[in-house]
Every structure is written in C-alpha cells, then in structure tokens.
Structure 1
Amino acid sequence: MLLPAERDTNVGGLRQTCAVTGMRTFWTALPTPGRWLLSTVAIQTLGRGMTLPFTIIYLHEVRGFDLGLAGALMSVIAITGLVVTGPGGTLIDRYGARRVLLVGLAAMIAGCALLAFATSPVVAAVALVLMGVNFGVSWPGFNALIATIVDGEVRQQYFGVNFALINLGIGVGGIFGGFFVDVHRPETFTAIFLIDAASSLIPMALLLGPLRHVRTHADPEEGDAPVDGYRAILRRPAVLWLTLLTFLAVFIGYGQMEAGFPAFARQVSGVSTQVIGFAFAVNTAVIVLLQFAVLKLIAGRRRTRVMQLMALIWGVSWVLLGLTGLLPRSLAAAIGVLAFMGVFAFGETMLQPTVPAIYNDLASERNRGRYNAINSAAFQGGAIAGPIAAGLLLGEGRQIWFIVAMVAGPVLICLLALVLERRVPAVANGVQNEVAPAPDAR
C-alpha cells in the first residue's frame, strides 16, 4: 500500500503541506489559482470537442474542397504549431506564460471565427494557421502556468486530473456536435466553430482576472548566468532521452489514433464506422473513470517505472487490435476493437501525469517555457510522423508489419525508460526521499 506522500506547494509566498490521498484532499491542497484553472477545463474544451471530429467533414462536404486538399489543410494546424512552439517557449521565459497565452487565445478566437465563414481554401488556410499558433503556445504556456502554481506530488496529480477533464470536455463536445451538425445545413457548422471561438474566452477571462498575478518567469538579477538555450538544454542527457521517449510514445500512441487505428479497424478488422466512433467514446470513458484511481496507484512510484508499465499495457493493446484481423467483419472483431481502445486508454492515464511532471521538475523558473516547448515539440513531432508511417505501411498492404512496429515501440520505450532512470535526478523521477544521482549534464 502506498503511504500518503507529504508535499509542499508554494505560490506567492504561501506554503502549505498536504497529504495527497484523494480527490477532496487534492482539491484542498490546491492554491486558489490552481482551483480556478482546473475548475474551467472541461467547460472550455467543449467547443474544441464539437469541432475536432468534424473539421475535415466541414471542409470537404460543406465547403466543397477536394478531400486531398482538405487533408492537407488539416495538417496546417500541426505544422504551424510545431514551428511556433520553439519561439513560443522562449517568449514564455522572457515575458511570462500569461502574456503569450493571451496572444495565442486571441489567435484561436480569430481563427475559429474566420473558419466558420471560410468559403475558399486560402481563407481556410489563414484560419487554420491562426489556430495552429494557439496550439503551438498553449501546451508550453499552460504547462508552465500549472508548474508555477503547484509542485511535488500535487503537480503530478494535477497533470493527470487536467488530462481527464480535457478528455471529458472533448468527449461530451464531440457527442453534442455529432447530434447537432448536419452537412445539409452549413449554418450548424458555422455555429459550432463560433462556439469553439467563444469557449476560448473562458481561459482568457481567467488570465485577465483571477490569474493576472501569477508569474511563470523570474526576472534576471545582476550576476545571474545566462539562461540556457534549447541547444544547452538538449545536451542534458536526461532531457535528450526523455524527449526521445516522448516522441516514440506519441508516435505509437496518439499519432495512430486518427490514422493507423481507424484505418486498420476498417480495412483489416472490417468493423463499421459506428464501432470506431464508439471506441473513441470508450477511450474517453476509461480515462475519465480511471484517471484519479491511477494517480493514487502511481503516487510515490518512480515515473520511469510507470512509463514502462504504460508501454507494456500499450503493447498488449496493439496485440489485441492485431488479433481482430484474424476474424474480420465479426462480432469478435468489434469487441476486440473496443477492447483495444479501453486498454490503450488505461495506458494513457499513466503517460500524461508523468512526462510533463519530469520536464517541469528538471526546469527552473528561468527556462520553464523552453522545457515545456521541447515537450510540446516532441509530442507534435510524433503526432505528425505517426500517421505518415501508418499510411505508408497500411497503404502498401503491410498490416502485419504495422502491428509488429506498434508492438516493437513499447519495447523500445521500456529500454529508453531504463536509460532515462539512470540519468534523471531522483526528485524529477518522483522519488522525494532519495539522494539524487550525480548531475547528469552540464
């Protein structure tokens, strides 16, 4: 049994000690800014959930863009986000996450509003670039904000609960959007994009109101050494190995959710689109229902060991999906597809609390934006490369090699986690009462 781990949180000079054991204790442990930020997560992601599954349908079936063009336009968001992430991290360290996030949210509002009325590819591209700007700065910005507000075990729990609430908001929004939109009524799509734009006003109001005094950056003092740039940070073995692990985890994980998984399920398993849609609902339900239980289970454990367990669980999930290809177009295949997504979601609950927590425990107040930008870039890189690899393998009819690659990925993650464990400081690995290893890096 895990003993409650006492941790300190310090925001604005206020220090409070807490035993992290349950949701009520976790909520009590949060400083007021943390409660404000967490209490609105599910609401502000409802709009994104309403538009995320239907954007390509909107571009192709409502606005009449060629499917290939619509797919290319969809990639603009990820590409823009990847390009913006690096400069965004630097700006966060220099001017603070709050200011950068406000600019990103303004771009998101403008992009969603413009896309709602986009009738030409050029206008749609501009709108998606604006949305990509927000995605490029929101990950490092909000992670830096969270890391400033909470620390220790509370920080790890915060990242996990935040992930569950994001999934809840997106899941509920997707269900509502599915019932509301109609390709024969373009105004329904206009409405959901405007709702998505309006939902960004919620975090903007928080940043301008209750969170206006939260500072994520430290002003340089006379005699301070220069802040490490990206090259110096990536020279740290712990950061380099963690970044490789993050990229690989996303490559075989989230990078396959919108491409490899649905393509395999349709072409090889032979299940219906309804089964695939329900599988995503299973994913959301598992994360929302199990996330906090998993957080209690992994509290005090080495985060690298948690990653290894996550990798093993993902390996089992891909084996399950591969087996559905042996009984295509059958009830067993449909059950297997749903089981795959449920098991995979269980693994997700272990990834999101650990990786961001390690990055932020390695960072200092002066370079936290850059550390979170590296995390974001690794995530986005895996999300871009994953669908490309899936398309090449499945497009050439190499379904077996696709599954082999997906099962080999978790094995590599386990090996990377072993290497990382030897190089990351004990505190950053979630071990609070152990002497840290020698400095890994400078």
Structure 2
Amino acid sequence: MTTAMGAALRRIQLGNALSAFGNGFTVPFLFVYVSQVRGLGASTAGVVLATFAVAALVVLPFIGRVIDRRGPLPVAVAGTVSAAIGSMGLGLADTKELVVAAAAALGAGIAVVQPSLATMIVWCSTTATRSRAFAMQFFLNNLGLGVGGLLGGQLVDTSNAGSFVRLFAIEAVMFLVLGATVATVRLPKAPKVEDAIPSDRSAGGGWRALVADRAMVQLLVLGFVMFFACYGQFESGLAAFAVDVTRISPATLGMALAANTAAIVLAQFVMLKLVERRRRSRVIATVGLIWTAAWLAAGFSGLVPGAHALATTLLISTYALFGLGESMLSPTMAPLVADLAPTRLVGQYNSAFALVKQLALAAGPAAGGMMAGAGMYAAYIVLLIFCSLGITVLALRLGRRLTPAQENPLRHTVVQRRVPSDRELVAA
C-alpha cells in the first residue's frame, strides 16, 4: 500500500468512527424519544423505526450505479448531508409528519453512506490489506457506538426534550464531520481490485452482471440468512425471549448487549490474526457453528427457570458468542464482496450486499416479533438454530465457487511471490 493510500484510509476510518460515535448517542433512545418525550405514541415510534428500513430499501437499488459512475466520494458526502439534516430534524420535529420525514432523510443518508464508504475502503486497499481495513472499520464502529451510547445515557433526560435535541445535534455534527473528512480524501484514480472477474463476461452491466455472477448470488443468499439469524434478532425476538422466558431484567439485558460489544472490541484483532490466513468459506462456516451454540445457550437459558444465575449466564453468553462470530465476519464478508466484484462494479456489488442486509434487518425483527407475540418461543429457537446451521452449509457450498485468490488472498499473494517467473527460470 502506498503512503497516500494509507493516509486516505486513515481519514476514512477516522470519519467513520466519529459518525458511529454520534450515532451511538441517539440509537438506544430513539423509541423512547418519539413515543414518550415527544408524546407521539408507540405506534408512531414503530413507524419511525420502519421508515429507516423503507428509506434504505428505496435508495439502495440505485445507489450502486451512481457510485460506479460518479465515484464513491461525492456520493458519500451527499449521504452525510442527508443524514445530518435528518438527525437534526428528528431533534426539532414535534409532529408525526415531521418526525417521519426526518427519519426518511436520516435512513436514506445512512444507507447511501455505507456502500460509499465500503467502496472507498476498497479503492484505498489491496486484496492483501483489505481484511485488516474492514476489521478496523468494524472495530471502530462498535467502539464508537458503545462509547456514544454510554455518554448519551449520561446526558439524556426523558423529562427534558432539550436534552434530546442536544443528542441529535451532536449526531448531526458528527455526520458533517464525516462528510468534511472524506471530502479531503484523495482517492486513487482506479480501484485496486485484483482478480475481480465476473462469472459471465457476456453479461451486461449493473444488476444484470451481478445476477449472472453465481458466486455473488450465493453470497447474497448467505448474507441474508446471516443477518436474519443474528443482527435482525437483537432488538426483537431475542430481547423478548430474554425478558419473557429467561426472566432477566431490562438492566441485565443491557449487560448482555454490553457483553456483545465487549466481545467484538476485545476479540477483533485476535480473530483477525486467526482468520486472515484461512479460507474465507471455512471461517464463515465456523461462524455458523458458533451461532448455533449461541442459540442453544439461549434455548437452555429458558429451561432452567429455577437457576436464575445459570440462566442469566447462558443468556449473556449468547450475546458474547454472537460478538465473537461478528469479529470473525468483519475481515471476511466485506472483503469477499470486493474481491468478487468486477472493477467497474465495485459500488454495485457493495450496494447489493447492503440491500440484502437491510432486507434481512427488516424481515428478522418482523418474524421474531411475530413469533414472540404469539408465544412461539420453542419454534423460534429451533428456527434460528436451523438458520445458523444453514449458514455453515451455504458457506461450504460457496467455497466451491471461489478461486484460491478469493478464498485466501493473503496466502495466495505469498505463494505468488515464491513462484519464480518464466524469465527467472530461463535465467537460471
């Protein structure tokens, strides 16, 4: 990696960490803010949360092509401006219409920023350094969210709407800081995407080429199951199971969420060293097994109501195991998307993966909430165990379609350096 690329990557990571810090100020308190502080009711708060997903689903199918045509930098800046307007709008809005409109601007802005930043990281890294770059992004995101949530909890006052205005103002400023930071980044003229060849060279551009890429389609299916089975359950089915079946208090649930963040922060770089020289499909398959153990622990926590300490330990272990799996995925999934993408379609591939993530994050809470509402907790745990085992099966099947460079770019690079060229052989 050149010095210029390293400097650009550091700026991107810094801006991303600051925006995550600002986001952490508001995310844990959004439902309470809309329903209670602004007095708009739980139904309006639910509509606001749904608006985030809808806004993302509206913009993501189109934003990839814009990134590939215009470049990720101007798109990222536009996204941060939209997110800042939406965030400040949420802080000032006092009617249902204004709150929903602000949530749409914020949701669309964040949805635009995510694939743009991912594409910028791809442009400023190589196949050998990409895993570390995305692992650092994930680490800083979680650290920023955790610290922001901790400080936000100290500043918030449900009896004072002005305290929430302050939180949303901080978030808006952090988005603008992100925009200003990435605006100063000097990107290379072309992305450093080696060994990125579409499966079907006769296919057209955009979505047509992506759909023709069977490895990418399999990765998208895998990604949907993955986000559905883990991330989509944190604030819906799993939280309801913890409170209604395991019988833990909301305060203990907060400890479990903290355990998830702590596992990510503490294990991220240890996991990076363990997985960066191993086959990516095998790493993802291992995550499926870890998450299977997590769901089994959650299920057993509901079977020992008389042993509250054991049940609580099992439930907290569930969240910690999820965090361990997440720390293995961060240097694996996003770099694999980049290494599958043709050079001209890096933005398209990143936005497609972000779209699948949003679909899963919409379907996951809906399914989990419905099953929890119906009291189908046993079926719920069984479903998620099968989804986690499905991750393992899908990952191993995906591995059959990956090239050695896509499976393990770091080891492939080392092997290439050791193999002498024809000219060297002739000289010898």
After TM superposition, is the score higher than 0.5?
Answer: yes
Q: Given the alignment of the two structures, is residue 271 of structure 1 paired with residue 258 of structure 2, yes or no?
A: no
Structure 2 counterpart of 1:125, which letter?
V
Q: Given the alignment of the two structures, is residue 391 of structure 1 paired with residue 366 of structure 2, yes or no?
A: no
Conservation of the 8 A alpha-carbon contact between 1:93 and 1:216: no
Q: 1:348-363 maps to which residues of 2 (within 5 A)?
A: 348-363=326-341
Q: 1:183-194 maps to which residues of 2 (within 5 A)?
A: 183-194=158-169
- Given candidates 109, 120, 125, the residue that maps to 2:100 is 125
The alpha carbon displacement at 1:328 in A equals 3.1
The alpha carbon displacement at 1:265 in A equals 0.3
- Given candidates 291, 297, 317, the residue that maps to 1:320 is 297
Q: Given the alignment of the two structures, is residue 49 of structure 1 paired with residue 24 of structure 2, yes or no?
A: yes
Aligned positions, number: 405
Name the TM-score, length of structure 1 as normaliser. 0.88
C-alpha distance in structure 2 between counterparts of 1:40 and 1:175, whole Å: 20
Q: Given the alignment of the two structures, is residue 262 of structure 1 paired with residue 239 of structure 2, yes or no?
A: yes
The alpha carbon displacement at 1:41 in A equals 3.4
Q: Given the alignment of the two structures, is residue 252 of structure 1 paired with residue 229 of structure 2, yes or no?
A: yes
Aligned to 1:421: 399
Structure 2: tracts of 5 or more residues without a match: 193-200, 417-428
Q: Which moved more, 1:180-189 or 1:200-209?
A: 200-209
The alpha carbon displacement at 1:360 in A equals 0.2
Conservation of the 8 A alpha-carbon contact between 1:108 and 1:197: yes
Aligned to 2:118: 143
Q: Secondary structure at the match of 1:428?
A: helix
The alpha carbon displacement at 1:232 in A equals 2.2
Conservation of the 8 A alpha-carbon contact between 1:153 and 1:299: no
Deviation track 1:326-350 (CA, whole Å, cap 9, x = no partner) reads 1237222222211111111101111
C-alpha distance in structure 1 between counterparts of 2:172 and 2:339, whole Å: 33
Q: Secondary structure at the match of 2:59?
A: helix
Conservation of the 8 A alpha-carbon contact between 1:97 and 1:216: no
Structure 1: tracts of 5 or more residues without a match: 1-8, 13-29, 219-223, 437-442
Conservation of the 8 A alpha-carbon contact between 1:145 and 1:216: no
Q: Which moved more, 1:226-235 or 1:127-136?
A: 226-235
Aligned to 2:137: 162
Taking structure 1 as reference, are residues 89 and 260 closer, same or farther at Cα in structure 2, changes over 3 Å only? Answer: same
Structure 1 counterpart of 2:43, which letter?
G
Structure 2 counterpart of 1:159, which letter?
F
C-alpha distance in structure 2 between counterparts of 1:299 and 1:207, whole Å: 27
What percentage of aligned pairs have identical amino acids?
A: 33
C-alpha distance in structure 2 between counterparts of 1:62 and 1:206, whole Å: 33
Q: Which moved more, 1:228-237 or 1:403-412?
A: 228-237
C-alpha distance in structure 1 between counterparts of 2:384 and 2:136, whole Å: 27
The alpha carbon displacement at 1:395 in A equals 1.4
Aligned to 2:62: 87
The alpha carbon displacement at 1:227 in A equals 6.0
C-alpha distance in structure 1 between counterparts of 2:35 and 2:71, whole Å: 39
Aligned to 2:425: none
C-alpha distance in structure 1 between counterparts of 2:336 and 2:3, whole Å: 19
Q: 1:97-108 maps to which residues of 2 (within 5 A)?
A: 97-108=72-83
Q: 1:222-237 maps to which residues of 2 (within 5 A)?
A: 228-237=205-214
Aligned to 1:73: 48
Aligned to 2:257: 280
Aligned to 2:422: none
Aligned to 2:419: none
Structure 2 counterpart of 1:275, which letter?
T
Taking structure 1 as reference, are residues 216 and 248 closer, same or farther at Cα in structure 2, changes over 3 Å only? Answer: farther
Conservation of the 8 A alpha-carbon contact between 1:83 and 1:136: no
Q: Which has the higher helix share?
A: 2
Conservation of the 8 A alpha-carbon contact between 1:255 and 1:387: yes
Deviation track 1:270-325 (CA, whole Å, cap 9, x = no partner) reads 10000011111111111011100100001211100000111100110111011111
Taking structure 1 as reference, are residues 392 and 203 closer, same or farther at Cα in structure 2, changes over 3 Å only? Answer: same
RMSD: 2.0
The alpha carbon displacement at 1:217 in A equals 6.7
Taking structure 1 as reference, are residues 341 and 384 closer, same or farther at Cα in structure 2, changes over 3 Å only? Answer: same
Q: Given the alignment of the two structures, is residue 378 of structure 1 paired with residue 356 of structure 2, yes or no?
A: yes
